[in-house]
Amino acid sequence: MTLIKSISGIRGTIGGNVGDNLTPIDAVKFASAYGTWVKNQVEKDEYRVVVGRDARISGEMMQQLVMNTLVGLGIHVIDLGLSTTPTVEMAVPMEHADGGIILTASHNPKQWNALKLLNEKGEFLNGEEGAKILEIAESSTIEFAEVDELGEITINDAYIDLHIEEIINSKWVDVEAIKAAKFKVVVDAVNSTGGIAIPRLLNELGVEVVKLYCEPNGQFPHNPEPLKEHLGDICKLVVEENADFGIVVDPDVDRLAFIDEKGNMFGEEYTLVAVADYILGKEKGNTVSNLSSSRALRDITEKHGGTYQASAVGEVNVVTLMKATEAIIGGEGNGGIIFPEFHYGRDSLVGAALFLTHLAEKKMTVSELRKEYPAYFMSKNKIQLTPELDVDAILAAMEKKYAAEEVSTVDGVKIDFPENWVHLRKSNTEPIIRIYTEAQSQQEADELANKMIMEIKAIAGI
């Protein structure tokens, strides 16, 4: 059982002991710190915060705790109820709110939940802001409102529809071309809020929808991380239904993966590659992804005459570099699409609509589209951390060992070899060290990963 306090929010398993897990007391403590931080940003008569949640079993409990804590601070709350992370991100500026909170542990299993914290732009807090909230949480400077100054809760369940309306009215989404293509799509929303939002979007675009695990009851039927080993059911159903492809989202709908018409993974790394190819084909520009993402985005960007750069892992880091380089599209190789025309946040609804437009214009199957992109293969592994494991020392030893190669220490250690690469880093959200490799064949990627795992274990003496 775990509680992880980081600059991006607080995440943990439900139940157990205060301070060791994400208990109601911990939720109130960190919601109080966030609300206090919001009020410290600017002095004004009225503060507003948008709150939404995914469909986790603990979600309603957590949301009530968080919202009423904000009310106790004198902050008015806009309650979106069951929503998506990108929907809450878009709602914050549309409501002229001072911030937002999403109750979701993203791809973590059902026993986890988290408070994801947004600023007044609907963007994730930066490191300095997150550190300040952690500092407030451990201090005694939180002052609650008197009875006549309590906040109020206003329910607004219209924002998923408003989110979809923004998308279908965009110049980047060709609704008529999508309708003319008469697509049939299977949707796996892991019984969370993607089961509300994605079918609704597809219906507006004239797509025939076959629902799989779209009941937002929080009972995840498989591991909610959208990886190949978890997606056997949709791969089988796409073929059985003779569908054009499948769409998979994680519980809070900011990660997007596709299944081709043959029941094969399109590759979560290639979600961003395909959508970027579509956007860059319309408008020349730069792109950004993180250090753990595929080289394929770099190749596609350079093909279109743009410049690619890599940031540290983490959405806020990608967004910061996108702004600095004026990138027109970016994201993360885990299926996260960030298209600033809508907002600076990963958005599976936007990604799905852009992919559908791209496919409709190309007039080809998903498997044919995949063959148009550079063939890279990734291996994603992890080593469970233990208290006695000195990860920083291990990473320093690996950096020293490969000093003759192109090495980046912006985020952990990334070693770029001529034909492949490896990225070693501590996770921000789980007690693990991640080992990502990429090569020109799956066997080579797996072999490189195994080699690195053996070297790490030798250094660690495990």
Please identify every residue annotated as catalytic: 106
Residue 76: CB partners within 8 Å, gap ≥ 6? 46, 47, 48, 49, 151, 152, 153, 154
Rounded Cα distance, 55 and 299, in Å: 38
Residue type, 439: A
Length of the chain equals 462
Torsional sign, CA 371, 329, 440, 385: negative
Residue 411: CB partners within 8 Å, gap ≥ 6? 290, 291, 311, 312, 313, 314, 317, 423, 425
In the structure encoding, which two tokens stand for residue 74, read together? Answer: 């004198």
Beta bridge partners of 308: 287
| 184-188/406-408 β-pairing | unpaired
- The three state secondary structure string of the chain is CCEEEECCEEEEEECCCECCEECHHHHHHHHHHHHHHHHHHCCCCCCEEEEEECCCCCHHHHHHHHHHHHHHCCCEEEEEEECCHHHHHHHHHHCCCCEEEEECCCCCCCCEEEEEEECCCCCECCHHHHHHHHHHHCCCCCCCCCHHHCCCEEECCCHHHHHHHHHHCCCCCCHHHHHHHCCEEEEECCCCCHHHHHHHHHHHCCCEEEEECCCCCCCCCCCCCCCHHHCHHHHHHHHHCCCCEEEEECCCCCCEEEECCCCCECCHHHHHHHHHHHHHHHCCCCEEEECCCCCHHHHHHHHCCCCEEEECCCHHHHHHHHHHHCCCEEEECCCEEECCCCCCCECHHHHHHHHHHHHHHHCCCHHHHHHCCCCCEEEEEEEECCCCCCHHHHHHHHHHHCCCCEEECCCCEEEECCCCEEEEEECCCCCEEEEEEEECCHHHHHHHHHHHHHHHHHHHCC
